């Protein structure tokens, strides 16, 4: 395709994106397609000859769009906000158009240095000190694995350079609350620690934050029998209820064992942009690594996950490679992000953050986050005011956890099924999408407010829909 052919198709695509985004509110929020429908529509022999652009666009409109859940819809209250702000979309497009290759500094100095600039900007906007060094990873799962690998290697004085985890004398152990994200246990397994050496620490029954006394006891018990505590994961804003662990206390508890403290604030980290909510993040400066995702609530399009570490020297020792074909005269003076994580090659991910921050401005992003916090308080207040509704976790940020109690229903299993039933009714309506979740054994419904398009009116409509749906499925 020539640049001129691209120009014609590109303009058509821009118009399509603008029209699609303008009309997203009118589509069913949860995709209504059945398993296999999309594949059946797209399958066929691999294309041998070029197809007209309008045929591809037709399938985009008629197959792909109905085949995705509309995370940019004002009625999207599921999982977590997955905002793809149009400012960041422009940045993502500029990166694609440029087609740069990020393997070493030399392959694209601007890719490396812009990543340094934007991760510094976000560090400052979050009120973090300059002991932190940031890089962009694809997701918090990867960032957590990177932190766990660094923790493993610190605890073993770089066992990877000897016999690996295989030659270590006593098992390394890792700690996280029962409410930690599934990527934590996944990372523990992938890093080779083993499930037997993962300690799931109980949480407070009201706040769902990690029980610090229980953590201290587990650490001491393990150390007493010769095990080696290597890492503690602190969750700031758990997936279930947006609970906040006490990082200050976790850092203190980990200190005697020199265990690495990783703070996972994947969703909630965006709130650190708000000085008035920074007390939720107290203690982070004492941790070893801190990760959060601008690609969630803040709205820089996926994939954009930040991982900050203090000891970047250690990180480089764990992740570096230096084959001859990647060496250059400037090596000593520059940052080589290939040595900060798993992949060698990287996209120009900094561009979407750079476009987003410059075109939107931090001030407007903060105002939007505050709007969402106010909307969550409104919903929690509305639910609190009704006798048959329970707000079943503290509303620290923008997630409201709800349970509906139909008159006379006290059986826990029946209540669990009822929550799933009314949530499914909401979701099947196509007007909104919420997520049922099991927290400490029982089901509730998470309303995660924070799609960029969601205004108070949309939350009011959702609340009406929740009540209608709960009534309709009540006995």
> Minimum distance from CB of 106 to a copy of itself (Å)?
7
Nearest C-alpha neighbor of 74 from the set 465, 449, 464: 449
Least Cα distance to 439 among 396, 389, 402, 414 occurs for 402
CB nearer to a copy of itself: pick between 152 and 403:
152
Q: Would you say 240 or 283 has its CB closer to a copy of itself?
A: 240
Shortest Cβ 256–a copy of itself spacing (Å): 22
How many CB atoms are located within 10 Å of the residue 4 CB? 8
Do you find a cis peptide bond into 177, omega within 30 degrees of 0?
no
Which residue, 110 or 314, has its beta carbon nearer to a copy of itself? Answer: 110
Cα→Cα distances 357→173, 295, 434, Å: 40, 13, 29
Rounded Cα–Cα distance for residues 263 and 290 (Å):
5
Under a CB-based contact definition with an 8 Å cutoff, are residues 79 and 448 in contact?
A: yes
Helices (H), 102-246: 109-125, 140-155, 182-190, 212-224
Q: Which is nearer to a copy of itself, 167 or 410 (CB)?
A: 167
Count the residues in the chain: 475
Token digits of residue 336: 């080589």
CA angle 115, 117, 122 (to 5 degrees): 95
Q: Name the residue nearer to a copy of itself (CB basis): 85 or 249.
A: 85
Quote the least distance from Cβ 237 to a copy of itself, whole Å. 14
Beta bridge partner(s), residue 203:
210
Beta bridge partners of 399: 448
Closest approach of Cβ 35 to a copy of itself, in Å? 4
Cβ proximity to a copy of itself, 15 vs 386, nearer residue: 15
Closer CB to a copy of itself, residue 156 or residue 251? 156
User: DSSP labels for 180-214?
Assistant: S-HHHHHHHHHTT--GGGEEEE-B-TTT--B-HHH
What count of other Cβ atoms lies within 10 Å of the Cβ of residue 158? 13
In the bound state with a copy of itself, the residue whose beta carbon lies nearer, of 249 and 369, is: 369
Q: How crowded is the C-beta side of 271, counted as CA atoms within 13 Å?
A: 25
Nearer to a copy of itself, 183 or 398 (CB): 183
- As given in the structure block, the two tokens for residue 475 are 């006995």
* Minimum distance, C-beta of residue 190 to a copy of itself, in the bound complex (Å): 6
Are the beta carbons of 418 and 406 closer than 8 angstroms? yes
């Amino acid at each position: 395709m020539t640049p001129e052919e691209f120009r014609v198709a590109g303009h058509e695509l821009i118009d399509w994106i603008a029209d699609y985004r303008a009309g997203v509110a009118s589509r069913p929020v949860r995709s209504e397609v059945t398993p296999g429908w999309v594949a059946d529509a797209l399958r066929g022999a691999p294309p041998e000859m070029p197809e007209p652009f309008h045929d591809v666009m037709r399938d985009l409109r008629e197959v792909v769009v109905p085949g995705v859940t509309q995370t940019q819809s004002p009625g999207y209250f599921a999982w977590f906000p997955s905002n793809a702000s149009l400012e960041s979309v422009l940045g993502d497009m500029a990166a694609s158009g440029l087609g740069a290759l990020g393997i070493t500094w030399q392959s694209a100095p601007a890719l490396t240095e812009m990543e340094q600039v934007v991760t510094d900007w976000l560090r400052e906007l979050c009120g973090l000190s300059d002991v932190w060094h940031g890089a962009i990873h694809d997701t918090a799962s990867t960032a957590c694995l990177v932190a766990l690998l660094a923790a493993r290697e610190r605890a073993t004085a770089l066992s990877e350079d000897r016999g690996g985890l295989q030659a270590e004398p006593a098992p390394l152990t890792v700690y996280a609350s029962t409410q930690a994200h599934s990527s934590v246990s996944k990372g523990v397994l992938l890093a080779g620690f083993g499930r037997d050496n993962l300690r799931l620490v109980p949480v407070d029954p009201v706040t769902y934050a990690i029980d610090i006394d229980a953590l201290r006891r587990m650490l001491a018990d393990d150390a007493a029998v010769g095990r080696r505590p290597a890492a503690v994961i602190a969750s700031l804003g758990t997936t279930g209820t947006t609970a906040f662990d006490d990082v200050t206390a976790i850092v203190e508890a980990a200190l005697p064992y020199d265990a690495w403290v990783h703070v996972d604030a994947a969703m909630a980290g965006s709130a650190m942009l708000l000085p008035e909510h920074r007390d939720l993040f107290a203690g982070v400066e004492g941790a070893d690594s801190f990760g959060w995702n601008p690609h969630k609530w803040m709205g820089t399009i996926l994939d954009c996950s930040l991982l900050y570490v203090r000891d970047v020297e250690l990180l480089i020792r764990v992740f570096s490679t230096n084959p001859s074909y990647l060496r250059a005269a400037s090596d000593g003076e520059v940052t080589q992000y290939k040595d900060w994580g798993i992949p060698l090659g990287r996209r120009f991910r900094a561009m979407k953050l750079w476009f987003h921050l410059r075109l939107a401005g931090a001030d407007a992003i903060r105002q939007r986050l505050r709007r969402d916090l106010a909307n969550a308080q409104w919903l929690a207040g509305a639910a609190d005011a009704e006798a048959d509704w329970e707000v079943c976790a503290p509303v620290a940020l923008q997630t409201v956890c709800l349970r509906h109690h139909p008159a006379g229903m006290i059986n826990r299993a029946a209540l669990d099924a009822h929550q799933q039933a009314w949530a499914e009714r909401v979701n099947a309506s196509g007007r909104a999408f919420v997520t049922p979740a099991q927290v400490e054994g029982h089901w509730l419904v998470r309303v995660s407010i924070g799609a960029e398009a969601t205004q108070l009116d949309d939350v009011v409509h959702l609340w009406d829909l929740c009540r209608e749906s709960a009534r309709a499925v009540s006995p």
